[in-house]
Amino acid sequence: MSIAPLAETPSAGAGETGSPELEPLPSWVFPPKEGFSAEDLDRLRGIPPHTELIDGTLVFVSPQTRFHALVLFLLHKELDQAAPAHLRVEREMTVKLGRRQRPEPDLVLLHAHAPSDLTRTFYEAADVLLAVEVVSAESETRDRERKPVLYAQAGIEHFWRIEEKDGRPVVYVYELDPATMTYALMGIHHDRLKISVPFDVDVDLTEIDDL
């Protein structure tokens, strides 16, 4: 793939040298000494869609695979149908966990008290009952290690991590231990996700073959 050369615009006083005038770099290329804050995500201009903030550092998301998209479609549909009226399911919204933490779970299950205004760009940790992450090659460490710690410390009661095995999803279900503020593994589900907490869920994971 060829890359088009930068257009050169002679700068004032460049004279015969015709030095190109380069566009200034965006401010988010140079993070502040203390790192970015959760509020900065709404102020920074030009950052890529679905940018996350983890430990004060901007995290840019790679293009997602078809597996990732199909898993989210299946789970969103099934959870939306099964969730009680006081809960709702949303995709790809950031959650403010602290001053320097604003990750974007792939899927969240929200309490009834969560705001619903259409201009909202994030939710608070107290709004979220369940956070779901579908692991990608570039996000393995974040999804398996760092994000679960952050979600647990913020008090989010349930966390699901979804891995790919032989083209199908495997769902690792975790529940918060309030005494230690860490997650305990409650089960690993291969072909069928059938649980009763946080509500009755029964998903045929093999349906991904037909999507």
Looking at the chain, how many residues does it have? 211
Closest among 157, 152, 173, 169 to 209, alpha carbons compared: 169
Q: Give me 147's structure tokens.
A: 């994000």
Residue-wise pLDDT tens for the chain (211 aa)?
A: 433 343 444 444 444 555 567 777 777 877 888 999 999 999 998 899 999 999 999 999 889 999 999 999 999 999 999 999 999 999 999 999 999 999 999 999 999 899 999 999 999 999 999 999 999 999 999 999 999 999 999 999 999 999 999 999 999 999 999 999 999 999 999 999 999 999 999 999 999 999 9
Q: What number of H helices and E strands is found in the chain?
A: 4, 12
Bond preceding residue 198 cis, omega within 30 of 0? yes
Burial string for 125-154 (b: 16+ CB within 10 Å, else e) reads: bebbbbbbbbbbeebeebbeebbbebbbeb
What is the pTM (predicted TM-score) of this model?
A: 0.87
DSSP label of 53? E
